[in-house]
Amino acid sequence: MSANVNKIVLRMYRIGTGDCFTLKFFKDDTGQPSFTMMIDCGSCKGDSAKFTRFVQLISADLPDKRLDLLVITHEHLDHIIGFSRAQAEFKKLKVGQVWVGWTEDPTNTLAAHLKEKYGKDVKALKTAIQKMSAFLADPDYHARFTGEFSGTRIMAAKSSFSRGLEESLALYQDPAPLGVTGKAKGKKAVADAAAPAAGAPAPGEMARAMDYILNGLRAQTGQAPFYCYPGKPVPALPGTEGIRFYVLGPPENEAALKTEEVKDDVYDRKTSFSQNQGFNAALEGNTDEDSLPFLSCFAMNPDEKKAAYKKFFDQPDNRYRNIDTDWLNYAGALAIRLEKYINNTSLVLALEFTGSGKVLLFPGDAQSGNWESWHDPALNWKIEKGGQTLTVTATDLLNRTVFYKVGHHLSHNGTASRSGLDQMQSPELVSLATLDYNNINTIWKNTMPSPGVLTTLTAKAKGRVFRIDEGLLQTPAALAERDKMSKAGADAFAASYKVDPDFIELSFNG
């Protein structure tokens, strides 16, 4: 006779800016969970020792070292690197099932097509980084700018930009091997230009993590990972009676996946970038006539070209006008686009208490296109309740959301307004953001937290917002909201959470 799950205890582990959640489902007060699950394990910063310690903590908290379900939302460093850096610890766990998004399904043609298409962009980005690093390592190149008043700042800016690109690439790829041009060989290369971004994965780590998730874990689970499709049923999960799992995303639609920001659906809208094959082709170094803009009769021959280059770029009064690396700045747009695309492939799960209807929402790092797609009229679920068949839509689920794991670490495009936050109506809403300012990518510092999202969220959740670094949010607005709670309400809230140096724990009663 199985009772229903009536409590979920959620822990967000404070590794750094990155997701790592465990959920324990309880049917009674014995303290023994009937079901355990984990969503992601990663962080922007943190070495093997750190991850190992956390995974050991997690393991100690799981009865019998048993993890019934492991969910991986998407292939970004801050969600999966733990599987490489603490792999040995994970291997000690008993794992029931692994769920990933359909974008990893080898039999899905759209997934294969997307992998190939974005694979080209990744290749282009790596090449751009290589080329830029080669220039930055070349003392001759430096010498062009050092006479200028802002010369050192220019070079510092270029180096920092290159590092920013590497950081962005490191989110989802092992770093590119850094090339050194022939000119610089034998000369003392400029130190900071060639060093990879601190905290970036060592070569092979990301690949190792993904390989473990998709293949290595089969040894522990005894089966292949389950590829989740929005709206489609999920496998049975013994021990979760009373909880229904909904898959809302990623959408099986290329246009939606490409959509990073929808104008009226995003807080603090920024610009977005479209694809540019010409740039990729130029990086490949393709020089046959078809890919060049003009016929070769217009080009100078090698001798003329050498003389021209010398005349226009190698004289003391025009060296500073060099444009060899400016076209590579576009790689920045490429990097941003790639990061956003992968974010949009996030697996989105909603967990519902079948009795009360309360929903816990885990959107990974989904962005506009993903959020919008949940409201596609074709996406709905038919459930049995009280002898009737009801149709559930994403709006219903959002209306009843009592827990929202903030998308993409409180960035402006990780939380939709019209398609998302606006529809969260529950007065019990609590929110957690996996943002840790002390352990974060430099390039993210300006984009997180987004003031628009934070303000709205604080108001909706009546100040019940947590961040990895601060614990319970301490902004004046949040404090003001919490002050408004009645004594009973405040007591109940205080009883429902616990802030520990290593984790933040929340309990939800069904």
CB of 470 to another protein, least distance (A): 9
Residue 27 or 462 with smaller CB distance to another protein: 462
CB of 311 to another protein, least distance (A): 9
Residue 282 or 430 with smaller CB distance to another protein: 282
Name residue 71's beta-bridge partners. Answer: 39, 99
How many of the other CB atoms lie within 10 Å of CB of 9? 18
Rounded distance between C-alpha atoms, residue 290 and residue 298, angstroms? 14
CB of 364 to another protein, least distance (A): 20
Residue 325 or 507 with smaller CB distance to another protein: 325
From its phi and psi, is residue 462 left (phi > 0), alpha (psi between -120 and 50) or beta?
Answer: left
Name residue 392's beta-bridge partners. Answer: 381
Q: How far is CA 189 from CA 180, 193, 195, 273, 371, in A?
A: 9, 8, 11, 34, 47
CB of 442 to another protein, least distance (A): 7
3-state SS string for 154-218: HHHHHHHHHHHHHHHHHCCCCCCCCCCCCCCCCCCCCHHHHCCCCCCCCCCHHHHHHHHHHHHCH
Rounded distance between C-alpha atoms, residue 472 and residue 492, angstroms? 15
Which residues contact another protein by CB under 8 A?
146-151, 153-154, 157-158, 160-161, 164-165, 168, 268, 270-279, 282-283, 287, 292-295, 298-300, 304-305, 308-309, 312-313, 320-327, 329-330, 332-333, 335-336, 442-447, 450-451, 474-476
Q: By the 8 A CB rule, do 7 and 242 touch?
A: no
Residue 443 or 457 with smaller CB distance to another protein: 443
Burial status of residue 375 (CB atoms within 10 A of its CB: 0-12, 13-18, 19 or more): middle
Distance of CA 136 to the CA centre of its chain: 29
Q: By the 8 A CB rule, do 236 and 116 touch?
A: no
How many of the other CB atoms lie within 10 Å of CB of 83? 27
CB of 86 to another protein, least distance (A): 29
CB of 307 to another protein, least distance (A): 9
Residue 11 or 158 with smaller CB distance to another protein: 158
Residue 242 or 449 with smaller CB distance to another protein: 449
How many of the other CB atoms lie within 10 Å of CB of 336? 18
Rounded distance between C-alpha atoms, residue 493 and residue 480, angstroms? 15
Residue 60 or 295 with smaller CB distance to another protein: 295
CB of 336 to another protein, least distance (A): 5
Residue 256 or 410 with smaller CB distance to another protein: 410
Residue 59 or 325 with smaller CB distance to another protein: 325
CB of 369 to another protein, least distance (A): 15
Name residue 228's beta-bridge partners. Answer: 101
CB of 188 to another protein, least distance (A): 22
Burial status of residue 491 (CB atoms within 10 A of its CB: 0-12, 13-18, 19 or more): exposed
Residue 389 or 446 with smaller CB distance to another protein: 446
CB of 251 to another protein, least distance (A): 21
CB of 440 to another protein, least distance (A): 13
Rounded distance between C-alpha atoms, residue 142 and residue 366, angstroms? 41
Name residue 382's beta-bridge partners. Answer: 391
Residue 154 or 379 with smaller CB distance to another protein: 154
Residue 164 or 357 with smaller CB distance to another protein: 164
How many of the other CB atoms lie within 10 Å of CB of 318? 12
The angle that helices 151-170 and 109-136 make with each other, rounded to 10 degrees, is: 150
CB of 279 to another protein, least distance (A): 5
Alpha helix (H) residue ranges in 45-108: 48-61, 77-80, 82-85, 87-91
